Amino acid sequence: MVYGGSTGEDTAQALERARSATRGSDKNASAAEPLSVSAAMALAKGALENITLRLVGEVSEVSNKPGYKAVYFTVKDQKAALPCMMWLNRYHAAGVPLAVGQLVELTGRFTLFAPKGRMNFDVFSLALAGEGNLRLQVANLARKLEAEGLMDASRKRPLPAYPMRIGLVTSPRGAAVHDVLRTLRRRFPLATVCVAGVAVEGAQAPAGIVEGMRQVVEAGVEVVLVVRGGGSFEDLMPFNDERLARTIARCPVPVVTGIGHEPDTSIADMVADLRASTPTAAAEAVSPARESLERHFDVRKRSLKACVERALERAAAEVRRCGTRPLFCDAHLLFATEAQTLDMMVERLVRALPANLERDERRVERARERLVTCGGSLVPRFSQQTGLAAARLHDLSPLAVLGRGYAITRNESGAVVKSVNQVTCGEAIDVAVADGEIICRVEETRRIDTSVVSWEE
């Protein structure tokens, strides 16, 4: 299929020049010699090499052997095939590794290899066309992520054996969501499925899938399913998005992909913790089958029963063994030594108490005698001191003062009156004498100058 024209003469002009050369040869045929094969090939080569074309074809065979200066391959369509060659420097600069089945776009010119009489298409530039270009982009991204370690088997996490909350990110209108829900309902109906309905095709699909994953993870799921049904390579391109791949790689819970069918493999499949061939297979991967659970429980039941029986047998044997010990045959053996020791202690105590009591009695008697002797010598001395103190106290007693004819006067508040300033005329006062109290009322007060009055007066 031709997509471009020539850079000098176009195809029609080149053919016209070749016809002119042929007509000139016919006119001089009688006067000139016939063309040699080399001349004829040179004429054809000169005509073809002026034609530069852009074409698209499918690669049917490739020969790129070590030591060759060029890469040789063939492109074809439904009606024709064209042998091509491309010098190695151009091939490496193009950066497109050729493989059978690729759809490629070529720019070049026709050329003849005269020694063999073969026509080739000399390729100047090479690029993948249509899906091939997309596959090249996906392959480059895959190599980049692989170099970063996102596809390493060591970073892939195991799936939970019995996930009670499962996240499902897919289209809400596709068949995949029904396949997954039906499979989970049949195999593990105990699980709760959190569905995030997102678009799985189009330019905005990767962002929607990323957001859906975030939502189900925040809902507390233990594993995330990212699935969709089959489609063309272009339909599956959202799952080759770099942002989606990195989101899957750093997801805090395991991610299982079930994208397309068995032959389809996307970058999301490569970085996921587990890649399933279909959405149904992805649902089966995260859910235990009812039959396998029944077998598992049956095995566990038999194992538990056997363990309990063995434990009971061991316990019964231990009880029987303990029952044969002398201790359990004669209970007195348990306290025999202690009982004998107690009897010995009682005997020693019975012997020791009378002797100790007699010794303590003699000691108390001697102490009593010493106390009586010491007490008799202490009493006279303290009796004299007490008499002197009593006489002195009697001399200082207010009663003794009253007995000598003095009186004590108190006002209505009970305070001793020491000055005429403490009473007023008409105030009641109490005068205490040796044999009682006299109730008086003040009629008049006189102040005496004590500085000129002596006791002799």
Buried b (16+ CB within 10 A) or exposed e, 391-429: eeeeeeeeeeeeeeeeeebebeeeeebeeeebbeeeeeb
CATH of 157-288, one of 3.40.50.150, 2.30.40.10, 3.40.50.2300, 3.60.15.10: 3.40.50.2300
Q: Write out the DSSP string of 99-141.
A: -TT-EEEEEEEEEEETTTTEEEEEEEEEEE-THHHHHHHHHHH
Mean residue pLDDT of the chain comes to 83
**Least confident stretch, 22-31, 96-105, 350-359, 400-409:** 22-31
**Residue at token pair 């044999």:** 435
Q: Among 222, 155, 173, which Cα is nearest to 193's? A: 222
Could you give the CA distance from residue 18 to residue 158 in angstroms, rounded to a whole number? 72
pLDDT at 7: 39
Domain spanning 11-129 has what CATH number?
A: 2.40.50.140
- Alpha helix ranges (H) inside 324-454: 326-329, 336-395, 398-403
Backbone torsions φ then ψ of 440, nearest 5 degrees? -125, 170
Is the pLDDT reported for residue 281 higher than 60?
A: yes
**Least confident stretch, 170-179, 239-248, 306-315, 323-332:** 323-332
Q: How far is CA 240 from CA 95, 125, 145, 148, 264, in A?
A: 20, 27, 11, 16, 11
pLDDT in tens, 45-96: 888 888 888 998 888 899 998 889 999 999 998 888 999 999 999 999 988 8
pLDDT in tens, 240-273: 899 999 999 999 999 999 987 767 678 899 999 9
**Least confident stretch, 207-221, 316-330, 375-389:** 375-389
pLDDT at 163: 94
- What ranges do the domains of the chain cover? 11-129, 157-288, 293-344, 398-457
The DSSP symbol for 150 reads T
pLDDT in tens, 146-203: 899 888 989 999 999 899 999 999 999 888 999 999 999 999 888 999 999 999 988 8
Is the pLDDT reported for residue 381 higher than 80?
A: no
**C-beta separation of 255 from 248 below 8 A:** yes
Q: pTM of the entire structure? A: 0.44
Could you give the CA distance from residue 179 to residue 258 in angstroms, rounded to a whole number? 11
Is the pLDDT reported for residue 30 higher than 50?
A: no
Longest CA–CA separation in the chain, Å: 202
Residue 421: pLDDT band (50, 70, 90) is confident
pLDDT at 307: 94
pLDDT at 249: 92
Q: Among 122, 113, 99, 102, which Cα is nearest to 50's? A: 122
